[in-house]
Structure 1
């Protein structure tokens, strides 16, 4: 394992892991997934979903009366697979395996089966079920879509070597063209079980842990997980999870060319009446410049650029969870983004979670609410 200087030191936390704390990786995972492949949703109105998708910056890869596949400009599979269904909801992620034999290994280890994916997509998959209850696909051999023209980062006059002379800068106010799927964030009341499942089954490794202030002895309440590609750098997080009363989707993130593409794309979305949830700012864990939006069904999506890349030699950072600790700069995190705005649905979800056999109790719930208001 490469030995590197701790990138967390003085930035993410005052100290690293303590003796006996979660190591953030499995000693012997079944496989090591290499990336997110795509995310799956259902929506009752595919026409509305397609309009928002194009305004947000996706390109349409496939459109039928029952399915909508959305892609970025980079070669690969679609970022999103949306099927027509009675309600708008997240149905699960798909991860990419490094080799076809990984699917056989997963099938043997979990009692699943390997099956052929849809003919227009190609490849094979295995469907697993994570401790949070929703299906997780692992796929290999999917047919790749060719590269599309993308937005070029704008040349910037910074430092002592200007690159732009007699050439005014006028970024077009247009959709921020999506390059690729970056990560998905999930909430679960079975946080530790789900965390260990992703480490043991898919070989993900933790980049950062967050814990409740004053309650570090109870373990982490959020984890940012990346793919283990050995010495090849991977996104700081491909999957992030946090303890909470809900189960499932929080948001998903999509890379764009640069800050100008992100900001001009945000102005374009605002002009068309879409609702910004939070932004523009720069995160601490992951360092991305971010901008969060709600689609017409109130699902949250993020434009991001300039995120951290870690290889397998970086051990987890540890930091207290707080609303103010989510960004280095930018406006304060909104109640909409944090999920702390009071509502009957949130109250019902919290009460239901407290009655179930899971990892959430009253002290943890109150600690989460306090952290997200600090």
Structure 2
């Protein structure tokens, strides 16, 4: 595309697309979503979920016997809803429609209907399914929740630049204060179909592709996907997806103020007996400072700060998929985070995927195993 920045300018990747590779965006999407609104879960014990949520840094926006709505400090919608259910499971994501007429356009294109959104403050929603089978909700909300007090960033001294004199640093040992929902990562057996659906239907665009060693000619196996806000910069990824033997939630990420918020909040979680999955470190794709934790239902949630922001004129980067490529610095990625701990359930998942009508075959599986160990 004429006039667009290329990854060969060392903006975010050493490699750009080769001739004929996926462009990372749709020519004529149905709509263009503006952001990720919230994530929906079911859990049997809302009380236990609320305790972890507050320890992790959420605020409670609304609570009933059947629903728990969680929010960050920024104005807007809640970041998460947990509904009471018989088992713990991820339901799906909800995205913000940029304008109310986008819901009508999407409903016509998908054969769906516009209905009332059951969210604090009210609004409208369209419910559709992506090719992986996830229910995806696109919402336009009428009333925003007001902003809450922030956890202020610390003043830092750098070299000869001294912002802080005659004062000490004593960040309190308290929960990281969540500001907002940043992104969700999903695993799918139908990566290519799901990728095109999010680009064609919701107008999202790819920031970075990852491919398996020796299999680039077969196309990417992971994509970091952002919202297309035109010249207004958006998070490097609002959604990330990768090919795998499973279909489901991998993790979700929530922005906090700074590194001290991540570290002090992590100490608070550790003192209360929660399990760190991986961290603290800094990613490559997206550049975020990160720290991953398990909640009592075994879902992984991430604290992050200082992520990349791209406008629409940045084209996709391409890089090989590897565990060593997940971080610039930090401890090695754990088996817990990678989901590679052997188990009968994991073996059944792999065998089922290899026998099914999907994009996973023995060569892809061996490439994924090689990437995990590289």
Instruction: Answer yes or no: same fold by TM over 0.5.
Output: yes
Kindly indicate whether the alpha-carbon contact (under 8 Å) linking 1:2 and 1:231 is maintained by their aligned counterparts in 2: no
Aligned with 2:23: secondary structure? coil
Say if 2:230 is the partner of 1:207: no
Q: Which runs of 5+ in 2 are unaligned?
A: none
User: Paired residues, what number?
Assistant: 374
- 1:367: which partner in 2? 367
Aligned with 1:242: secondary structure? strand
Deviates most, 339-348 or 197-206: 339-348
- Aligned equivalents of 1:3, 1:182: Cα separation in 2: 29
- Aligned equivalents of 2:161, 2:255: Cα separation in 1: 28
- Aligned equivalents of 2:372, 2:284: Cα separation in 1: 15
- 1:324: which partner in 2? 324
- Aligned equivalents of 2:346, 2:11: Cα separation in 1: 33
- Aligned equivalents of 2:137, 2:143: Cα separation in 1: 16
- Aligned equivalents of 2:2, 2:53: Cα separation in 1: 40
Kindly indicate whether the alpha-carbon contact (under 8 Å) linking 2:7 and 2:16 is maintained by their aligned counterparts in 1: no
Q: How has the CA–CA distance of structure 1 residues 111 and 356 changed in structure 2, closer, same or farther, with 3 Å as cutoff?
A: same
Please state how far the C-alpha of 1:185 moved relative to its aligned partner: 0.2
Aligned with 2:112: secondary structure? coil
- 1:30: which partner in 2? 30
- Aligned equivalents of 1:63, 1:214: Cα separation in 2: 51
Runs of 4+ in 1 over 6 A off after TM superposition: none
Map 1:162-181 onto structure 2 (within 5 A). 162-181=162-181
- Aligned equivalents of 2:6, 2:279: Cα separation in 1: 28
Map 1:300-319 onto structure 2 (within 5 A). 300-319=300-319
Please state how far the C-alpha of 1:150 moved relative to its aligned partner: 1.1
Please state how far the C-alpha of 1:7 moved relative to its aligned partner: 5.3
Kindly indicate whether the alpha-carbon contact (under 8 Å) linking 2:7 and 2:15 is maintained by their aligned counterparts in 1: no
Kindly indicate whether the alpha-carbon contact (under 8 Å) linking 1:276 and 1:294 is maintained by their aligned counterparts in 2: yes
Q: How has the CA–CA distance of structure 1 residues 314 and 305 changed in structure 2, closer, same or farther, with 3 Å as cutoff?
A: same
Aligned with 1:48: secondary structure? helix
Please state how far the C-alpha of 1:248 moved relative to its aligned partner: 1.5
Which whole-Å deviations, capped at 9, do the CAs of 1:87-120 have from their partners, x for residues lacking one?
1111000000011110000010000000012374
- 1:149: which partner in 2? 149
- Aligned equivalents of 1:284, 1:2: Cα separation in 2: 27
Say if 2:217 is the partner of 1:243: no
Q: Which runs of 5+ in 1 are unaligned?
A: none
- 2:355: which partner in 1? 355
Say if 2:20 is the partner of 1:20: yes
Kindly indicate whether the alpha-carbon contact (under 8 Å) linking 1:33 and 1:96 is maintained by their aligned counterparts in 2: yes
Kindly indicate whether the alpha-carbon contact (under 8 Å) linking 2:25 and 2:203 is maintained by their aligned counterparts in 1: yes
Q: How has the CA–CA distance of structure 1 residues 256 and 228 changed in structure 2, closer, same or farther, with 3 Å as cutoff?
A: same
- Aligned equivalents of 2:184, 2:8: Cα separation in 1: 22
Kindly indicate whether the alpha-carbon contact (under 8 Å) linking 2:7 and 2:316 is maintained by their aligned counterparts in 1: no
Kindly indicate whether the alpha-carbon contact (under 8 Å) linking 2:224 and 2:237 is maintained by their aligned counterparts in 1: yes
